[in-house]
Amino acid sequence: MRIELTLAVEAFPIAGRFVISRGAKTEARVVTATLRAGGHIGRGECVPYARYGESVESVCAAIESARAEIEAGADRAALQSLLPAGAARNAVDCAMWDLEAKTSGRRAYAAAGFARLVPLVTAYTLSVGTPEEMRAAALKAADRPLLKVKLAGEGDDARLAAVREGAPHARLIVDANEAWGEDSLVAQLDACARFGVALVEQPLPAGRDEMLAKIAHPIPICADESAHETASLAGLRGRYDAVNIKLDKTGGLTEALAMAQAAQAQGFAIMAGCMVGTSLAMAPATLIGQMAEFVDLDGPLLLAKDREPGLVYEGSTLMPPPPALWG
């Protein structure tokens, strides 16, 4: 079946600013891949991430390098060798899942082996800021059951105390985004335990996280920047208790599903995560969410404007994606 591939670079404004330890952004720039065949359309969205050496230009160039094979009918299995793990493969892989669903009339979740999709409770992210700013943000989000707290290193105790004061009953995830050092790690983890944090993401820089195998884990520690695809799991054993599976890291839903199954078999808890993107990027990740103990698919909640139709969020409860959106 002959396939037509088109690419689009789109920008979606963020409501306010999204701030982590590495910097701030005010919009989500995404690459959308659209596949057309036999009167059907499949779409996939990716978010290029500079931390991994990606840009919208490099992602588009990578997809263009495989255009001939994609348009000649390469399937998802072939795509795994055509493009490496990362945002470019994610956009095309998810578009292939969507096109297959539209062409066959069989929902993507069924093709992935799920009998149905259940609603998910997602974390809601609080950007890093001053304690006063974070207390105010936590107060506004205090009714949400799960908050993800971005931290940045020095002063994190005060930030965490402020968040806990603003949202005394919420379950908390802390995300340091590689900002902590070995000298402060034990004290930071102890502080998180005091404030009732349920999970800490990527406290140390990827590649410099050996200390995690040598210290007690008063709360579970989750690999994010250290965890990309199935092959990375072997190096995480003994250091991490959980893995954050993001489709932009794995290179699409196909590898994400394989990684989730392998992670479960190796004893890791799963977090279903995302970059800041639209509902089109979140929709396929809801399948990973079915396997996850922690779900962080709040990208559209952070945007000033989402795609239409988009996902339905009832507070922090994320409903399964409608077929008109994806899958």
Predicted TM-score of the model (pTM): 0.96
Domain CATH for 295: 3.20.20.120
- Total domains, the chain: 2
Residue 323 lies in a domain: no
Tell me what pLDDT residue 22 has.
67
Q: Which of 105, 128, 160 is the last residue of a domain?
A: 105
What's the pLDDT at 16? 78
The pLDDT assigned to 21 comes to 64
- Tell me, yes or no, whether 41 and 16 share the same domain: yes
Q: Which backbone phi and psi does 295 adopt, to 5 degrees?
A: -120, 130
**Tens digits of per-residue pLDDT, 171-182?**
999 999 999 999
Q: Are strands 23-37 and 40-46 parallel, antiparallel or unpaired?
A: antiparallel
Residue 317 to residue 314: CA distance in whole angstroms: 5
143, 221: one domain = yes
Q: Point out the domain boundary residue: 105, 140, 168.
A: 105
Is 154 found in the same domain as 28?
no
Domain span at 309: 120-318
- List, by residue number, the catalytic residues: 150, 246
CA atoms within 13 A on the CB side of 22: 11
Tens place of pLDDT per residue across the chain (327 aa): 789 999 999 999 998 778 776 677 889 999 999 999 999 999 999 999 999 999 999 999 999 999 999 999 999 999 999 999 999 999 999 999 999 999 999 999 999 999 999 999 999 999 999 999 999 999 999 999 999 999 998 899 999 999 999 999 999 999 999 999 999 999 999 999 999 999 999 999 999 999 999 999 999 999 999 999 999 999 999 999 999 999 999 999 999 999 999 999 999 999 999 999 999 999 999 999 999 999 999 999 999 999 999 999 999 999 999 999 999
Residue 12, C-beta contacts closer than 8 angstroms, at least 6 positions apart? 27, 28, 30, 277, 278, 303, 304, 305, 306, 307
pLDDT for 195 equals 96
| Residue 44 belongs to domain with CATH number | 3.30.390.10
Whole-number pLDDT of residue 318: 98
- Residue indicated by tokens 């002063």: 155
What six digits make up the tokens of 40?
């059907």
Regarding whether 171 and 28 lie in a shared domain, the answer is: no
Same-domain status, 173 and 282: yes
93 and 124, same domain (yes or no) = no
What is the structure's pLDDT at 20? Answer: 79
One domain, residues 152 and 287: yes
The C-alpha atoms of residue 87 and residue 181 are separated, in whole angstroms, by 28
Phi, psi of 181 (to 5 degrees): -115, 165
Query: Which pLDDT score is estimated for 119?
Result: 98
Q: Three-state SS string across 248-261, please?
A: HHHCCHHHHHHHHH
Question: Are 208 and 253 part of one and the same domain?
Answer: yes
